[in-house]
Structure 1
């Protein structure tokens, strides 16, 4: 069994009587309170932009959370601020633990299904840094799998404070709990859902010669931005209303193929209502 080290992930553990309540009140997803698959979540700004994104899973009497390393300090600071007088402990495990990816469940480590709605991309594994030293240090198989499924990640595909939850399709992939009460940025998320104002959505781009951040051009107009490129394929956040001809999409002047993820309920050329 091969575990691929995802060296760019930062690990935190929330434990104590109020741990679940705090995370459920602050993050977008339905945070688990018992063993099972991990839940996709985002920490939003009050304006609804994504500040951090990751998975949260219950194990060993605590909730294990991972975010991109680039926002580890900010995430830790914000969660301690939201903690106030709540009865819980937030453990910073960045120096002692690592995140890995496995196609199969792993015994002897914290292991959760890496689930996005109906899509499960193997398993998220959390173990000690000593154990991680023995893992395969190439995380390409993970990124190839999630790109093939149209899954975007903060830090790899877009920067903090640069995208809304709907831009990632979190509303379709169980990254947002629309039933629970308020969380940070909830007003913006709710308005985009009920008014249908989500114009930008994930699109799979194939045949790419380029890097993350390159423009996706449709019929001569900028339509979006590439995420991480693996084996000539990437997920881009694209303005759907600007892609009326899928045969006229280019990156760096070269034609590319664009397709929708299998889970998408939107289509090219869709025009969202105005606010």
Structure 2
């Protein structure tokens, strides 16, 4: 069971009797579907539907734990405070809260669900641990390889906050957006994209015939940019691409290149049909 410490993470706590209704009306995931002992992806959007903050959310005590990037955590805290108004909820930033992740484990009954939760983004058992009592025995690079293999994007590495919609990173298909839960910030834009099927940028897994070039390198077909690489781990990486253009290139037999490296594209098993131009198979 490899375990890695994830650098540059922070934890916000939202507690109190109004913690759930406060968050349910603001963030994208449906908290009524969030079970004890699991973490689901989520975002706080701009009114225009762009991702302002991304995080993993899990239940803890009488509230919620929001696991986010440490560099944006203070701004995330301030933004949530703006929405609190008269709600009976306390919002705080935990000091010195290390985050570890374990995988290749099949014994969830042994976890302490108050400090360890299953990461809902993965089809296999991946567990995030909060607190000081976990020891790392694997490099963080192995965690990023796991993310790449399963098409799990994170801001900073794979996209810029303020520049992507939830559909771009498959949050409409992996539980990161509660499409039927009702209002949240940016909901009108997300709902319109869903019902009109207008999502054209999508996250894909990229495999190169040789080690891929650096992150931010363009992926091209016939010299035209389709998108750019995000996380890169050897021959494999992630990218957010114009899927309609990628599908046209594939159907025409036009090579898709990362720099000058030929690549193939795949998607997570649960997600959209690649050669369908980016339309989701399921909502």
Taking structure 2 as the reference length, the TM-score comes to 0.87
1:226-241 correspondence runs (5 A): 226-241=229-244
How far apart, in 2, do the equivalents of 1:2 and 1:193 lie? 38
- 1:50 maps to which residue? 51
- The runs of at least 4 consecutive aligned structure 1 residues that moved more than 4 Å come to none
Instruction: State the secondary structure of the residue aligned to 1:74.
Output: helix
User: Is contact 1:156-1:227 (8 Å) kept?
Assistant: yes
Mapped pair 1:212 → 2:220: no
Give unpaired runs (5+ residues) of structure 2: none
Which one of the candidate residues 259, 262, 267 is aligned to 2:269? Answer: 262
> Could you say if the C-alpha distance between residues 89 and 22 of structure 1 is closer, same or farther in structure 2, counting changes exceeding 3 Å?
same
Q: C-alpha separation between the residues in 2 aligned to 1:55 and 1:215?
A: 29
Correspondence 1:52-201 to 2 at 5 A? 52-93=53-94, 95-103=95-103, 104=105, 105=108, 107-108=111-112, 110-116=115-121, 119-120=123-124, 122-128=126-132, 131=133, 134-136=135-137, 138-201=139-202
Residues 229 and 152 of structure 1, relative CA distance in 2, 3 Å threshold: same
Q: Quick one: distance in 1 between partners of 2:278 and 2:128?
A: 36
How far did residue 227 of structure 1 move? 1.0
Which 5+ residue runs of structure 1 have no aligned equivalent? none
* Secondary structure of the corresponding residue to residue 187 of structure 1: helix
Cα RMSD over matched residues?
2.0
Alpha-carbon offset, residue 120 of structure 1: 4.3
Query: 1:210 and 1:181 mapped to 2: Cα distance?
Result: 42
**1:161-214 alpha-carbon deviations (Å, 9 max, x no partner):** 011000011111111101212111101100000111000111111124222211
Q: Is the 8 A contact 1:221 1:242 kept in 2?
A: no
Cα distance in 2, alignment partners of residues 150 and 219 from structure 1: 25
Q: In the TM superposition, what is the alpha-carbon distance from 1:265 to its structure 2 partner?
A: 2.2
Is the 1:30–1:39 contact (alpha carbons within 8 Å) kept by the matching residues of 2?
A: no
Shift of 1:111: 0.9
Distance 2:218 2:71 in 1: 23
